[in-house]
Amino acid sequence: MKVARIGIITAVYIALTYGLAEAQISSGGQPVSFQKRVGDYVPMISMPAVDAEALLAEDERDGKLGVPFRFGYKHDVSLNPDNSGVWETLDDGGRLWRLAIKCPEAYSINLVYDQYRLPEGARLFVYSDDRNVVLGAFTSGNNKEHGKFATAPTRGDVTILEYYLPPGVDDPGLLSLVRVVHAYKDIFFGPLKEVDPTEHFGHSDFCEINVNCPEGEPWKNEVRSVVMYIVDEAWQCSGVMVNNVREDQTPYMLTANHCHGPEETILVVFNYQSPSCENIVGPGDMTLSGATLVAANDYSDFKLVQLSEQPPASYDVYYAGWSAIDIASQSSVCIHHPEGDIKKISFDDDSLLSADYLLSYGDSHWRVGNWELGTTESGSSGSPLFDPEHRIVGQLHGGMASCRRIKPDWYGKFSKSWDYGTTPETRLKDWLDPDNTGTLVLDGLDTECCVGMTGNIDGDPYDIVDPMDIVYLAEWMWAGGPAPPCMEEVDVDGSGYPDLMDAVYLVTYFWEGGPPPVDCP
């Protein structure tokens, strides 16, 4: 046991020294260049400079017109292993391709691929030049029928692609970049610590309320259903995972139709929220790439997409319920990502008013007269409006509300989105009630995976917490092992998200008489 303890403490020390890798759905592990001797030369391609001041001025103007929140500038490129970067043959016979991309003064860089087809055994990593953010490994398991892909942002103004073909793999696959996105707003990264509350982390307004404040406690399930996503590669909107009558966890996301862009390359971010009421940067690495448009209609400004991948159990997704009955609720709640910020919650204590968009009459939308707590902003578009029974009744189209102005917002009615359209492609009912049962009200579906005390990291069927859970955690964090089947089990110290300190906590618990893992949330 003493040897095991020394091994784990050594692993913790290594992690403290070199940092942790972040990843969307991937196979984990480390880039080959982190482990083997490789050449020092990595060609760098620099993108043109971006006039951030001019772009911010455009955003100020467009924000008043209801345009989705923009954070980045898109550089059109055509980069692939045949026309850029450098190949080298390694001692084991494998081949390695690397390319560095620089966007001067960018806060982060995200990449979009018009061709992505990796052969079995190949691995792609994308990482920041300081190696503090590492995405991957992406493999053939990420291949999509449409052949497109997108990777999450890496921090800083240089990102590096590393593509490895192991010995015996002769098929180079297809890997081609079509877009490099230069983030001129800093919305994805920040220090993992509290900041001055007068500054408010991110860009959202001063009256916004974090979802883990006391006001959000009754809405913890619905909080797990709301996502932030990157659309058209450089814009950000909000959305919500929705239940269907079969309750089969089909990964449908409801959002606003005016958040337009190619669904194949959207990047959906789950659980980007502070672990407490304070402004603390939440985890931004729980992501999924790609979706398929299922239905949309301008009348109520709704769009329903099906994600290309099933959210893993570790994302702890809640599929929100809904009401297709056209009755004004007496109070409402909105959960959203304003200005690309961590997740917020807003409250309206008054009855909704039936209206058309930007009007005080009509019947395509619900009008929120004003918010008693919180507000909405650019980036909140597509976020759900819940009634007191915790069911979706609309999604945000637009409005004029802010912390400084008592103005209305308009939400496309779920009841109109349900059956206003004349074809399955223009209404919700064919997808959320595929067997035509006539259901008009449906509660949410909880996929909660953690029960009792946390710590069952390896998914033991008898819910046993033992040192093997530490081994499993260490292999996942530092050796490319499989992800824990339930990420809530990892958060043994109750910080709100899994990190290195959970490993330290378990070591202290098992061998130094520390406190036991906290109870599941």
The set of catalytic residues is: 258, 301, 381
Q: CA 74, CA 68: separation in Å to the nearest integer?
A: 15
Smallest CA-to-CA distance from 228 within 267, 185, 264 is with 267
- Specify whether the CB–CB gap between 4 and 12 falls below 8 A: no
* Token code pair at residue 175: 């890997």
Half-sphere exposure of 336 (CA within 13 A, CB side): 33
Burial class from Cβ neighbours inside 10 Å (0-12, 13-18, 19+) for residue 452 reads exposed
Strands 318-319 and 267-270: unpaired
Chain-centroid distance of CA 185 in Å reads 17
Element (H, E) at 467: helix 467-478
User: Which amino acid type is present at position 154?
Assistant: T
Strands 391-399 and 321-323: parallel
Report the interhelical angle of 467-478 vs 2-18 (nearest 10°): 30
**Nearest-5° Cα angle at 275, 472 to 449:** 45
How many angstroms separate the Cα of 297 from the Cα of each of 35, 75, 301?
51, 30, 6
Q: Give the three-state DSSP class for 7.
A: helix
Helices (H) and strands (E) in the chain — how many of each? 9, 30
Smallest CA-to-CA distance from 394 within 257, 261, 251 is with 257
Q: Identify the bridge partners of residue 161 per DSSP, sorted by sequence position.
A: 99, 126
- Specify whether the CB–CB gap between 429 and 227 falls below 8 A: no
How many angstroms separate the Cα of 34 from the Cα of each of 94, 102, 166, 321?
15, 20, 16, 45
* Token code pair at residue 321: 């319920």
User: Which amino acid type is present at position 179?
Assistant: R
- Specify whether the CB–CB gap between 285 and 314 falls below 8 A: no
* Token code pair at residue 284: 């931004």
- Specify whether the CB–CB gap between 115 and 152 falls below 8 A: no
Q: CA 363, CA 357: separation in Å to the nearest integer?
A: 9
Q: Cβ atoms within 10 A of the Cβ of 501, count?
A: 13
Q: CA 81, CA 1: separation in Å to the nearest integer?
A: 48
